[in-house]
Amino acid sequence: MHDRRPAFDPRLLGSERGFFEIWFAAIVHQRAQKALWVRYTAFRPRASASAYPPMALLWGAYFDQGRPGDFRRRIRSWPLTELRFAAPALSLP
């Protein structure tokens, strides 16, 4: 069975319900022994639990097994209201 609902419904931004979504991809080059990991998170707490603001996060990490000390990572966050939803893509500023 396939779920045909959109991954994120922008109408949830103004709702009382909370929302949490994560998508990630791991890209591995076995011969080169390198990997890239990317993760996107959208988070909107319930209105009654508003200690944290609604936010979007984009994470990335690069691994090189041949150079264990050369681990690189980045995390960026934006207010969730700055996400732009347009089929078929998601856009961050």
Stronger pLDDT, 12 or 54, i.e. the higher one: 54
Query: Virtual CA dihedral for 59, 63, 67, 71, nearest 10 degrees?
Result: 20
In this prediction, residue 38 has a pLDDT band, given cuts at 50, 70 and 90, of: very high
> Is residue 3 one of the residues assigned to a domain?
no
Scan for tokens 């994470």, then name that residue. Answer: 59
Cβ contacts of residue 51 below 8 Å, gap of 6+?
45
User: Does the predicted model carry a pTM greater than 0.85?
Assistant: no
Q: Looking at the predicted structure, is the pLDDT value of residue 14 above 70?
A: no
Please give the radius of gyration of the chain, using alpha carbons only, rounded to the nearest integer.
16
**pLDDT on residue 52:** 76
Cβ contacts of residue 8 below 8 Å, gap of 6+?
19, 21, 42, 83, 85, 90
43-74 pLDDT per residue, tens:
888 776 667 788 889 999 999 988 888 889 99
Domain limits at 37? 10-91
> Is residue 5 one of the residues assigned to a domain?
no
> Is residue 83 one of the residues assigned to a domain?
yes
Q: Looking at the predicted structure, is the pLDDT value of residue 85 above 80?
A: no
Q: How many domains does the chain have?
A: 1
